[in-house]
Amino acid sequence: MKYAQHMASPTDLFNWLLALSDLLSKDMAIQFERQGLTPARTHLLWELHQRGPVTQQTIAEALDVSPRNVTSLVDALVQSGHVRRESHPGDRRAFLITLTDQGAAATARMAREHAELAAELFGALPADDRAATERVLRRASERLTELFDTHYGRKDDHDHDDQ
């Protein structure tokens, strides 16, 4: 298939997507760093913001990392004052990881900045363009998830390795 100069080929579009992804992750990493946070610790905080107090196991599943990794992240966030390890009322093996006031303030600020950045990047767009883009990105996400599952098996099935 041919694409004229003014037309966006699938590869052009893909390249813009990757370029923007890269810019975003760098930009966000800098924002986090300004608050004394790293991307991984911020991600953990964000899950707590959305889920409320949960165990480290739950966090490990949410972030898709090993439980051991969560121990380190929580250690660091306890150290920096963003979270607390509270004893789990029904299970003496587990902790309930809870946002401190400082942690809650940090996630509240993130939520605000997230919305502000979204408005900066996409607020001035014609509603049509925004709708089309949202449709395209959602379709791509679905398609990519399908491809992923086809090639590597469903996420929960990850171990079988059956061809």
CB of 133 to DNA, least distance (A): 28
Burial tier of 23 (Cβ tally within 10 Å: 0-12, 13-18, 19+): exposed
* Window 63 to 82, contacts with DNA (CB under 7 A): 63-74, 76
Question: What does the chain come to in residues?
Answer: 163
* Window 30 to 49, contacts with DNA (CB under 7 A): 38-41
Q: Which residues bind a second copy (CB under 8 A)?
A: 7-21, 23-25, 27, 30, 114-115, 117-123, 125, 127-141, 143-145, 147-148, 152
Residue 37 vs residues 2, 24, 45, 91: alpha-carbon distances, Å: 46, 16, 10, 30
Tell me whether residue 92 or residue 160 sits nearer to DNA (CB atom). 92
Contact between 60 and 68 under an 8 Å Cβ cutoff? The reply is no
Tell me whether residue 24 or residue 115 sits nearer to DNA (CB atom). 24
Contact between 46 and 110 under an 8 Å Cβ cutoff? The reply is yes
CB of 12 to DNA, least distance (A): 25
